[in-house]
């Protein structure tokens, strides 16, 4: 059996209101466009999650809202407060409780970038993987029966993209 993870850092968010809490920052226009582009890219490659594990921050929820219209079906959306600025160990713990064969996780740096580096056996040949910029999306597979069996260094990279590369 194979499990697939689609790991996405939220799209570009707005810093227009300095009094707004970090948790409540929305996407800016570039972020909204990037999320829609990511959805089209995912659909064109058949990367369709059955479950979405998403930080409960506004910018991660809006990233999913921008991606979702391009995808067929209606995956289960699980808002996970624990993913808000989570470190890699928390992210792995959340992933181990996933239920679908294809899971999308949407989170924040620096944790998501570190998680991406630690979960794969070999990093993709893309210089942007090191930075894991906004909208960065990794697709990797695991040869496991259950998400509970996933551990560091087991992921086999299928794809990696950043929104700027889609638009180019």
Q: What is the pTM of this model?
A: 0.97
Question: What pLDDT, in 10s, does the model give residues 69-87?
Answer: 999 988 999 999 999 999 9
Whole-angstrom distance between the N-terminal and C-terminal Cα of the chain?
35
Q: Residue 59: its pLDDT value, please?
A: 97
Tokens representing 28?
A: 């800016």
Residue given tokens 């799209």 in the structure block:
11
Tokens representing 97?
A: 């409780």
- Computed over every residue of the chain, the mean pLDDT equals 96
Asked if residues 60 and 54 have their Cβ atoms less than 8 Å apart, the reply is yes
Indicate the pLDDT class of residue 146, thresholds 50, 70 and 90: very high
Least confident of 4-18, 44-58, 76-90, 115-129: 4-18
**What's the number of domains the chain is made of?**
1
Instruction: Give the three-state DSSP class for 144.
Output: coil
Question: Is pLDDT above 70 for 166?
Answer: yes
Question: Is pLDDT above 80 for 167?
Answer: no
Q: Is the peptide bond between 100 and the residue preceding it cis, with omega within 30 degrees of 0?
A: no
Q: Which structural domain range is residue 137 located in?
A: 3-167
Q: Residue 153: its pLDDT value, please?
A: 98
Indicate the pLDDT class of residue 19, thresholds 50, 70 and 90: confident
Asked if residues 6 and 49 have their Cβ atoms less than 8 Å apart, the reply is yes
* CA atoms of 16 and 119, how far apart (whole Å): 34
Q: Residue 30: its pLDDT value, please?
A: 95
Question: Is pLDDT above 80 for 151?
Answer: yes
Q: Residue 150: its pLDDT value, please?
A: 98
Q: Mean pLDDT across the stretch 123-141?
A: 97
- The CATH number covering residue 77 comes to 3.40.50.1240
């Amino acid at each position: 059996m194979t499990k697939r993870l689609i790991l996405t850092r939220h799209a570009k968010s707005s810093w227009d209101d300095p009094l707004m809490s970090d948790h409540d920052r929305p996407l800016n226009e570039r972020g909204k466009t990037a999320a829609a582009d990511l959805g089209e890219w995912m659909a064109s490659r058949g990367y369709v999650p059955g479950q979405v594990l998403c930080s409960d921050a506004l910018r991660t929820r809006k990233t999913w809202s921008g991606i979702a219209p391009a995808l067929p079906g209606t995956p289960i959306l699980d808002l996970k407060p624990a993913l808000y600025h989570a470190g890699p160990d928390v992210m792995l713990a959340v992933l181990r409780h996933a239920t679908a064969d294809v899971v999308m996780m949407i989170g924040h740096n620096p944790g998501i970038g570190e998680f991406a580096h630690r979960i794969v056996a070999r990093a993709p040949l893309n210089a942007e993987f090191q930075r894991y910029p906004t909208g960065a999306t990794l697709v990797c597979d695991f040869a496991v029966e259950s998400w509970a069996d996933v551990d560091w260094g087991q992921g086999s990279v299928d794809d990696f993209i950043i929104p700027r590369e889609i638009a180019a």
